[in-house]
Amino acid sequence: MISKADGVIEQSGVIPYRIKNGKIEVLLITSSTGKRWVIPKGMIEFMMSPQDSAAKEAWEEAGVIGQVLPTTMGTYDYQKWGRTCRVETFLLQVETVLEDWPEAKLRKREWLSVKQAVKHIQEAELKQILMALPDTLLTLQSPPE
């Protein structure tokens, strides 16, 4: 979907995460060219919500299935096709890691700590979103007062 006002390409993506040995791990994947580490993301599919579309990208690009949390983590911009792409990000609590998935031959994937993931990512706004992850998860797990 392209925003008519400024020509920005609207996308959605997920930050796949799991808790392993009491620590948060984030799954990053390589870009389709293999030159950068990114999160699963893509164009918002016709007749799909941003969350459902992002979950589909996680399956296609990273081979993970799980529950997408409904609240957005924020947005970040990057350049592609000579345009600005704006990605609305959501959390994906990973439930299944597949051994075979549609883009398995195209991409690498790696589980990293939040700190390591931040070092691998280029986009400053996405780094900020990742750094907020521990506090966000703590808030989501805290009972309401």
For the chain, the 3-state helix, strand and coil shares in percent, each to the nearest 5, are 25, 45, 30
Helical segments of 30-122, H only: 50-57, 114-120
Token look-up 């931040």 returns 118
Q: Which residues are catalytic?
A: 60
78, 10 Cβ separation under 8 angstroms = no
Which token pair is 136? 């966000």
